[in-house]
Amino acid sequence: MSENGSKPKFAMYWAAACGGCEIAVLNIHEKILDVDANFEIVFWPVAMDAKYKDVEAMPDGSILLTLFNGAIRNSENEAIARLLRRKSQILVAFGSCACQGGLPSLANLGTSQALFDAAYDGPSTDNPQGVRPQPQWAAPEGQLHIPEFYPAVKTLNQVVPVDYYMPGCPPESPQIAAVIDLVLQVLGGKAALPPPGAVIGAGDSTVCDECKRARNEKKITQFVRIQDVQPDPALCLLEQGLLCNGPATRSGCGALCPMAGALCVGCYGPAEGVLDYGARLMTAVASVIDSTNPAEIERILDGIPDPAGAFYRFNMGGSLLRAGRLPRKSKVAHEP
């Protein structure tokens, strides 16, 4: 795969995300030396100095592997996603935000106006002049531009075709190391690439598969919040009325959170073939509510004060209803 005997090229980019994905990559410890030994790192803003124009100058398809983390929040994120797609042979959506929108995509429940109000006019903000970001600004040095803020957060595959998905917030370091090993084996001709579109660095089942807590048939009579209870350390959290996302979340993390007594929050996203993560989680949780009386069911549901947030915490950008796509021009329901 390498050209002219030189090392294959590697890039990593950080779009709308917290930076945790970058740290997770560094957390593979000495394995990072393998990356350096086998790849020529051509673009990785967090680790080395690089300019967009350097990437633009590269021939199309000249980067072998790009790990793209972060969601598409603004026009700069999208532009770089398009640029890297053009330049890369293999583009990996890396981390929850690139795969499913991640936490930033919870913003899709509201308007950008509401977001700005909260950020620039909130109770914790000191902004006496009421400054708001402006796409353009005439400064003494010349016209300044900042990227356009999109009305909704998109996933990477909503702007460019993606070859592989590697979920997690962040992806677990051992999984990253395993993927790097795999890529090295592929380079050495010892392994084949997974089929395009595959999820890599994760399991085929859901978090419960890796969770060691004891499980019974489920009957939920009330939902409680973890700060209000002392959960049984050995029993399934969902059975204790805690809204653990484990049953619907792809395995691969080793069930770290539930094993440590915290709820699974769903960062590894939906299982294979699932169209809408929140719907799967919601239908499962609702199905095991132990009541046939609507008033009683409503009372039990009051224990989930923010269902949309609870069921789509990391997955709103990839949801059926709040996917961050562009506005539709017209309805197609009626054939003229």
Which residues in the 77-136 window bind another protein by CB under 8 A? 93, 99-100, 108-109
Q: Which stretch binds another protein (CB under 8 A): 6-14, 51-59, 77-85, 314-322?
A: 314-322
For residue 253, give both structure tokens: 């993390």
By the rule CB under 8 A, 262 interacts with another protein: no
Q: Does 177 bind another protein (CB under 8 A)?
A: no
> Segment near another protein (CB under 8 A), from 36-44, 83-91, 224-232, 294-302?
294-302
Computed on alpha carbons and rounded to an integer, the radius of gyration of the chain in Å comes to 22
* Residues 6 or more apart whose Cβ sits within 8 Å of residue 243: 223, 263, 285, 304, 310
Nearer to another protein, 187 or 279 (CB): 279
CA–CA dist 66, 76 (Å, integer): 17
DSSP 122: S
Q: What is the DSSP letter of 227?
A: G
Classify 33 as helix, strand or coil: helix
CB distance 316 to 101 below 8 Å: yes
C-alpha of 290 from chain center: 33
**Which residue, 84 or 271, is less far from another protein as judged by CB?**
271
Q: Using the rule CB under 8 A, is 294 a contact of another protein?
A: yes
Nearer to another protein, 230 or 293 (CB): 293
CB nearer to another protein: pick between 59 and 195: 195
Given the rule CB under 8 A, which of 49-57, 117-125, 134-142, 285-293 is the region that contacts another protein?
285-293
From CA 96, how far away is CA 323, in angstroms rounded? 14
Size of the site for another protein (CB under 8 A): 80
Least spacing, CB of residue 212 vs another protein, in Å: 10
Stretch that binds another protein, among 32-40, 50-58, 126-134, 150-158 (CB under 8 A): 150-158
The binder of another protein chosen from 43, 80, 276, 313 (CB under 8 A): 276
Q: Does 298 bind another protein (CB under 8 A)?
A: yes
- Interatomic CA distance for residues 216 and 226, integer angstroms: 20
216 near another protein, judged by CB under 8 A: yes
Does position 235 interact with another protein (CB under 8 A)? The reply is no
Q: Is 208 in the site for another protein (CB under 8 A)?
A: yes
Which one of residues 170, 241, 246, 258 is an interface residue with another protein (CB under 8 A)?
246
Q: Are 263 and 304 in contact (CB under 8 A)?
A: no
Q: Does 218 bind another protein (CB under 8 A)?
A: yes
Closer CB to another protein, residue 27 or residue 291? 291
Per CB under 8 A, does 240 bind another protein? no
For tokens 């996933």, what's the residue? 155
Whichever of 20 and 270 has its CB closer to another protein, that residue is: 270
Indicate the residue type of 39. F
Pairing assessment for the beta strands 149-154 and 72-74 based on DSSP bridges: antiparallel
The closest of 62, 8, 10 to 187, measured between CA atoms, is 8
- A 10 A CB-CB count for 266 gives 28
Q: Which is nearer to another protein, 28 or 271 (by Cβ)?
A: 271
Q: Is 321 in the site for another protein (CB under 8 A)?
A: yes
Instruction: Give the up-direction half-sphere exposure of residue 56: CA atoms within 13 A in the CB hemisphere.
Output: 5
